[in-house]
Amino acid sequence: MRVPESTVRLLSNGDTALAVEFGEHIGLATSGLVLALYDRLARAALPGVVELLPTFRSLMIHYDPARTSHGAIARQIEPMLGGLEGVRPATRRWTIPVCYDPQFALDLEAVAQRTGLSPAEVIELHSATTYHVYMIGFLPGYPYMGDLPARLALPRRGNPRTQVPAGSVAIATTQTAVYTLQSPGGWHILGRTPVPLWSRQRTPPALLAPGDKVRFAPIAMAEFERLVKQADAGKLDLEPVAE
């Protein structure tokens, strides 16, 4: 997909950030364009740019105003947009174990009832899909992943929980995600992973990154407990498969 230049907007976000926005549609094609520009800018290493953050349909560029400016960055970016295509960069593919035991699957029964599926069918659908990591946000390392099978698409919970345990795997609208830290949350919880997706002992601390592919592998409680012990000992090393 080649980007129509008329759909790209460069938006100021205060005096230290600029967003390059690709239209209004959230999807794999738009994400591909965001990641393609991210790759170009990362390689260019523009003076004064301190961080690049891909989102659903834009790339946020944070810069040091003592070294550069909105206008200077905009002028440097514009030639990079010419002929920009959403060519998929090298992808990492992860398999993340998830325990869908009722102890962890706080909303599994409710999701089954609302979708007209059995709990086993919900688990099968959720774990049989390969997800695309669109962006990281909300919590450190928290991955927004799509696209959820249409039969599982539900709005967020009417009553958000004040505490969702770290590792909880959840769904809402067309997305699935993993709560990397304990926090409030309004998504439907289907299970829990023993894999820490955020760790200060790891470089980088976030396990996943935009553009990664993720598939969930159901595991039993005994396996979950075994992997938790490995994680607590710092010996649970999950490795992706490169494509």
State pLDDT tens for residues 147-188. Answer: 999 999 999 999 999 999 999 999 999 999 999 999 999 999
Model's pTM, two decimal places? 0.91
Residues 121 and 111 sit within 8 Å (Cβ to Cβ): no
pLDDT band at 86 (very low <50, low <70, confident <90, very high): low
Amino acid at 179: Y
Looking at residue 89, what is its pLDDT?
60
Mean pLDDT, range 84-103, rounded to an integer: 85
pLDDT greater than 80 at residue 4? no
Mean pLDDT, residues 50-60: 95
The gap from C-alpha 151 to its chain's centroid, in whole angstroms, comes to 21
Q: What is the set of domains in the chain, with CATH numbers?
A: 5-81 (3.30.1360.40), 92-242 (2.40.100.10)
CA 223 to chain centroid, in Å, comes to 25
Instruction: Report pLDDT digits (tens) over 211-238.
Output: 999 999 999 999 999 999 999 998 998 9
Local structure of residue 152 (DSSP, 8 states) = G
pLDDT band at residue 1 under the 50/70/90 scheme: very low
Cα–Cα distances in angstroms (integers) from residue 158 to residues 106, 135, 143, in the given order: 15, 24, 22
Q: State how far the Cα of 190 lies from the Cα of 110, in Å rounded to an integer.
A: 10
Q: Which two tokens stand for residue 121?
A: 């069918």
Surface-to-core class of residue 183, CB atoms within 10 Å of its CB (0-12 exposed, 13-18 middle, 19+ buried): middle
Q: What is the pLDDT of residue 84?
A: 79
Q: For residue 84, give the H/E element and its range.
A: none
Q: Around Cβ 152, how many Cβ atoms within 10 Å?
A: 21
The model's confidence at residue 201, banded by pLDDT at 50, 70 and 90, is: confident
Would you say residue 87 has pLDDT above 80? no
**Residue 2: pLDDT over 60:** no
pLDDT tens digits along 133-156:
999 999 999 999 999 999 999 999
Residue 83 is predicted with a pLDDT of: 76
- Which residues neighbour 219 within 8 Å (Cβ) at sequence distance 6 or greater? 97, 98, 99, 227
Average pLDDT over residues 35-56: 94
Tens digits of residue pLDDT in 115-134: 999 999 999 999 999 999 99
The secondary structure of 59-104 as a DSSP string is EEEEE-TTT--HHHHHHHHHHHHTT-B------EEEEEEEE--TTT
Can you give the pLDDT at residue 46?
94
CA atoms within 13 A on the CB side of 132: 18
| Residue 125 contacts residue 140 (beta carbons within 8 Å) | no
